[in-house]
Amino acid sequence: MSEQEVVFGERALTLEDIHAIAIKGVPVKLSKNRHFKETIDAGAKVVESVLSQEGKVYGVTTGFGEDCTHSIPEETTSDLSINLTRFHGCGLGDAFSTQQVRAILAVRLCSLTQGYSGVSWELLEYLCLFLNKNILPVIPQEGSVGASGDLTPLSYVAGALIGERDVYFEGETRSSAEVFSQLRIKPYVLKPKEALALMNGTAVMTGIACLAWQRAEYLTRLSTKITGLCIAGVAGNTFHYDESLFDVKPHKGQQEVASWLRHDLKNTQAEENSSRLQDRYSLRCAPHIVGAVRDALPFLRHTIENELNSANDNPIVDPVSKRVLHGGHFYGGHIAMAMDLLKTQVANLADLHDRQMALLFDPKVNNGLPKNLSAAPKNKIASHHGFKAVHIGCSAWTAEALKLTMPASVFSRSTESHNQDKVSMGTIASRDAIRVLELTEQVAVATMLAAHQACWLRQHKLKEQLVSTDSLKSFNSYISENFEIVVEDRRLDNDLNSWLKRAHAQTIPV
């Protein structure tokens, strides 16, 4: 991938490509490869040929869903496409963020450029235009069951292209018709099957899944760093991460996390002379917990990237055999499965850090740290409460994350006159995964600041050396440069929000 642009139609795209388009705003373009353009044009010609011969194509010469038995007169086929975008305009809930919308547009473009959707080259150019000009449809999050594709949310993409929906543009929410007029661009005119090709796919759930994967991968590295800081803060036993120990249980992710902890922690004494022969599980078993997430990530990447680079609408148009194939590639079962797995693994990180926070707080087990991690002087310690309320907040955020781990994919509902009688709920699973990530990031940054306070107390109040190496000392110093130790009680929401932004932007060095 070029750092300057992402080219569609030359190779399979990666999660990093979608991240670059969505988060960094990298521009996009279509491949200039002649064979690629010929393939796209050939697919559109197949649809035209079938129509000219009065053949049947679902959603072009028939009604939609249960109404596929209804034939549509040729003179009203253009109305059919527009009406598809209109009657699906019933989404509710909060809108997706602009970054999420960029991911959704990029994923839909990637599917259409596979060459099996029967769309025109012009439609692909318009999607590139939306991304490069940052014309971003306002897409409500709620309303997709994730199995005739993301019909309702993607109708807001199709509707914006034809000038009938709102978009984010230059920091404002405006009608796409106004933006087209300002830019002297004509609204797009949908060709046969193009509304269906835009809407009848898994782009919303997959776009969100791409971003969720990136956040989860970063969170595993941040979680390991925070765990090291917690171990230093409670003067834990650093021999729990010995290389020989992990050689005998060779899960790759688990070994990786243990090696990171060895890199951050210094073995300064014989194991039998450590303050505690065996630390609590939230420290001793951290490689096994974070490592399980690490080991899930390659499988999740493979699954998400497979979906990203697939033709996932219906019907499929084969430009080689010139056949129109009716199937169910819009079904989001793989993304639903991936996101149900991801959110469960990530919630385990929230639970891990919540337990680490409890360990830091408890004077019975934290090796001499003051109650509530209070740094107040002795004459004021009774009236100041350190991180007490933050600890309560962590419990609340963790409970909410754990509650959301119920698999969305098992809540299939029969809908649309029992035509869609088994559905994936993949978009709900992806949205759940994002919320679990948000909550887990909240627990993580709160634990990070508490662990930093614990390290400060051990050094400055207990006058002890930390077991950290230069690597962890550098991490601790970075925090101290941007966070003031809590000596007397103060509100901490501003601090937490500031660090959350860093975590979300992945700028905290790990």
pLDDT tens for each residue of the chain, 510 residues long: 446 899 999 999 999 999 999 999 999 999 999 999 999 999 999 988 887 776 666 556 655 555 555 555 666 566 778 888 999 999 999 999 999 999 999 999 999 999 999 999 999 999 999 999 999 999 999 999 999 889 999 999 999 999 999 999 999 999 999 999 999 999 999 988 899 999 999 999 999 999 999 999 999 999 999 999 999 999 999 999 999 999 999 999 999 999 999 999 987 554 444 567 899 999 999 999 999 999 999 999 999 999 999 999 989 999 999 988 989 999 999 999 999 999 999 999 999 999 999 999 999 999 999 989 999 998 888 889 999 999 999 999 999 999 999 999 999 988 877 878 889 999 999 999 999 999 999 999 999 999 999 999 999 999 999 989 999 999 999 999 999 999 999 999 999 999 999 999 999 999
In a domain, 114, yes or no: yes
Cα within 13 Å of Cα(352), Cβ side: 33
Domain end among 175, 201, 227: 201
Same-domain status, 271 and 407: yes
Euclidean distance between the first and the last CA atom of the chain, given in angstroms as a whole number: 24
Q: What is the CATH number of the domain that holds 363?
A: 1.20.200.10
Indicate the pTM of the whole model.
0.94
Same-domain status, 355 and 317: yes
In a domain, 448, yes or no: yes
58 is catalytic: yes
Same-domain status, 164 and 256: no
Same-domain status, 132 and 216: no
Overall number of domains in the chain? 2
Catalytic residue among 58, 126, 156, 331: 58
DSSP structural state of residue 313? S
Same-domain status, 114 and 252: no
Domain of 132, in residue numbers: 6-201
Same-domain status, 111 and 259: no
Same-domain status, 431 and 395: yes
Same-domain status, 172 and 281: no
Residue closest to 332 by CA, chosen among 431, 425, 430? 425
Same-domain status, 77 and 103: yes
Same-domain status, 383 and 419: yes
Q: What is the CATH number of the domain that holds 103?
A: 1.10.275.10
Same-domain status, 234 and 182: no
Amino acid in position 191: K
In a domain, 1, yes or no: no
Place of tokens 């070994």: 255
CA angle at residue 117 from 113 to 122, to 5 degrees? 60
Amino acid in position 322: K
In a domain, 510, yes or no: no
Domain end among 201, 235, 256: 201
Amino acid in position 242: D
Same-domain status, 167 and 215: no
In a domain, 106, yes or no: yes
Domain end among 201, 236, 262: 201
